[in-house]
Structure 1
């Protein structure tokens, strides 16, 4: 079966405009980033209100969502390949809304973690459907370009969400934060309900039976390129999750900042978003492999330098040096994931739902677990984060090299 590689028309009688399609997919992806980052300024308030004295345990508010989000994706993939993208998206958004609304009223920390897990389970559908819908319409470097634009909005959420959380905390508390996330999810539900057309062609639907589903998973899990980049993305994203979990502690404890730490958090996220946009413009010229492999190598070199300077300085560098080096490191996050995602999905056009699910689940669960471990190792210094990041990025580079048969930076046809 030949994968479609022509982008959707900018406007037709049955399809929404190209720009609106990209914006809609970006919102679905960004909903997950917002649901994580908006809680960062509220973690201390949650600990005080729900009697959680261990600051590292407060990170579980993030981890519970990530685990629910990661694990549920393998369910949504086969369902979306059978029933289409729309019904599965709306089922997932409904589950997310139930969890978000219930989180407003929970009486205990354990109940909050349970509802955060439910939110993640529901939101997993948005990640699967967004990636599968893009793959339904695009392939190769076109997909990498579109995913870069989607990821640009996804990455700007860490600019907006923590500041939104801080703004809410000025007049409310963490319960209002949960209420706002319910409102954003409801907006996404309404927009997609009225405007999103089905992107899965009838000929590409797969029966929901054990043998065809198992065959789809076999296709995904036996493709070396897909599996290699799946491992690479999960390992690389673990560093991002670790930083998100530790961000408040790093800025407030190591560098003595107050609520304004969200502004510096936003600066780093804004750079990530800008580089994702730049990637969308450069990918056709240099190719997905050259850009992503070069960015990953740059990340490793700068992280090694940063780690060495932090160790020499007794645990952390001066703030001006920290923010400079860390911004360079995180700029690579705007380039590596969208390209790795496109490379992993490119061979899977005929099983895009399952492919998106496996890729998303592995990336999130692997990233969430490894990132959670690194985050929990926080000891008042930058060394666990930077040391963990160096190891994780090295694993990602090795996985990418394995996927490419030992040859990095090659320019190949992705169509």
Structure 2
């Protein structure tokens, strides 16, 4: 793996270790959401939250803040390097988790979750820039699929992990566990992860330059449809996460089986990401993802039918939901890699603005879907269909109306403004 002169001690790690470290960094945000889902009822009772939908804000506020926070760390990582930004995010993750474990007010809890989401956005932005520093095109899509396959194990096991903590201690110990995991991850990064930003690619932190680089990273026609389309599809899944405890636990009556049912559906994303990593270089990220979004629409239409004509039947809902999540494994990494393709020199800024639009937009969509929960699966099913159809329209815009093309890698787009430093 190529490294720059800025690499501390000239350390080099292999591709497998790089995939695991990057996946672990990205998974900390998922851990902060999914491990606490089984504890939402206990948290609401202890903090005197009566409204069932209001408890969703513990998840939704974090997602919104995390998306908003994605605007800044990429530009800082383009100037100061990837490692310093990661260490700041990891320290903030651990510190906020410990503070949350000590609070006794729901409003203070939401405020700290918002601060944590903003300060930990680097854990979403910088890992993508690290991969882009080393790979491009379908090879990047393959690596991102492998990262996602490891990353997705967190939503699979996190609810059971949280449920396990609740068997022996209160919900506060879940947040103490978050701090411990962040500390261990930080030590691994310090010892093993090299600095991947090449000195010649360092950018000035000047507002006009940052804004122009972000504008370049977002408004490229070949990128924006994939960024916004991914935001809608991920937003539909966030809607599922926000309302999962009510939808699965109450509407479908899974009760104590919730961690296993939720984790089982999420596991399908890991399977599809592994499959995607094996086929994407052969068929191309565009062909695979275009087929995926068309199939996603068909399955979402089936969700709408089931919500109206088979309401409350878990045996119908569960296979369809697992299929939706499986298809996301053929979409997320490929959409992201296609959108990042033109931006080698400004990978940090491009990753920041794209991740912001994708994650903040997804968080807003997920919040709206979650708050629309009415005791049935109908609002969620309709949202799935609307989001997937809209994503297809956006992809068609980026592809100028043509699907299933396999393009040669485009010429790298140069950063705007003054030359790098």
TM-score relative to the length of structure 2: 0.94
2:199 to 197, 202, 210: 202
Instruction: Report the CA distance between 1:306 and its aligned residue.
Output: 2.0
2:396 to 401, 410, 414: 401
Alpha-carbon distance in 2 for matches of 1:258, 1:328: 22
Give the root-mean-square deviation of aligned CA atoms: 1.5
Which stretches in structure 1 are left out of the alignment for 5+ residues? 1-5
Alpha-carbon distance in 1 for matches of 2:179, 2:397: 42
Alpha-carbon distance in 2 for matches of 1:127, 1:30: 9
Alpha-carbon distance in 2 for matches of 1:280, 1:216: 30
Equivalence for 1:71:
68
Instruction: Report the CA distance between 1:107 and its aligned residue.
Output: 1.2
Deviations 1:272-292 (A, max 9, x none): 111001100010111101111
Q: Does residue 104 of structure 2 align to residue 104 of structure 1?
A: no
Secondary structure at the aligned position of 1:350 is classed as: coil
Residue pairs, 1:192-341, within 5 angstroms? 192-313=189-310, 316-341=311-336
Q: Does residue 95 of structure 2 align to residue 94 of structure 1?
A: no
Does the CA contact (< 8 Å) of 1:343 and 1:414 recur in 2? no
1:364 to 359, 368, 371: 359
Deviations 1:346-382 (A, max 9, x none): 1111110011111111111100001110111001111
Instruction: Report the CA distance between 1:7 and its aligned residue.
Output: 7.0
Alpha-carbon distance in 1 for matches of 2:13, 2:407: 32
TM-score relative to the length of structure 1: 0.95
Equivalence for 2:119:
122
Alpha-carbon distance in 1 for matches of 2:126, 2:68: 15
Alpha-carbon distance in 2 for matches of 1:109, 1:229: 37
Instruction: Report the CA distance between 1:317 and its aligned residue.
Output: 4.9
Does the CA contact (< 8 Å) of 2:289 and 2:335 recur in 1? yes
Instruction: Report the CA distance between 1:393 and its aligned residue.
Output: 1.1
Equivalence for 2:346:
351
Alpha-carbon distance in 2 for matches of 1:14, 1:255: 51
Alpha-carbon distance in 1 for matches of 2:97, 2:222: 37
Residue range with higher mean Cα deviation, 117-126 or 373-382: 117-126
2:377 to 382, 387, 390: 382
Secondary structure at the aligned position of 2:375 is classed as: coil
Equivalence for 2:147:
150
Secondary structure at the aligned position of 1:349 is classed as: coil
Secondary structure at the aligned position of 2:103 is classed as: coil
Does the CA contact (< 8 Å) of 1:41 and 1:259 recur in 2? no
Alpha-carbon distance in 2 for matches of 1:325, 1:242: 15
Which stretches in structure 2 are left out of the alignment for 5+ residues? 4-8, 411-421
1:191 to 188, 195, 219: 188
Equivalence for 1:3:
none
Does the CA contact (< 8 Å) of 1:141 and 1:414 recur in 2? no
Does the CA contact (< 8 Å) of 1:233 and 1:396 recur in 2? yes
Secondary structure at the aligned position of 1:260 is classed as: helix
Does the CA contact (< 8 Å) of 2:79 and 2:202 recur in 1? yes
Q: Does residue 34 of structure 2 align to residue 34 of structure 1?
A: no
Secondary structure at the aligned position of 2:255 is classed as: coil
Secondary structure at the aligned position of 1:90 is classed as: helix
| Runs of 4+ residues deviating >2 angstroms | none
Instruction: Report the CA distance between 1:210 and its aligned residue.
Output: 2.4
Does the CA contact (< 8 Å) of 1:135 and 1:143 recur in 2? yes
Instruction: Report the CA distance between 1:41 and its aligned residue.
Output: 0.3
Equivalence for 1:85:
82
Alpha-carbon distance in 2 for matches of 1:43, 1:170: 14
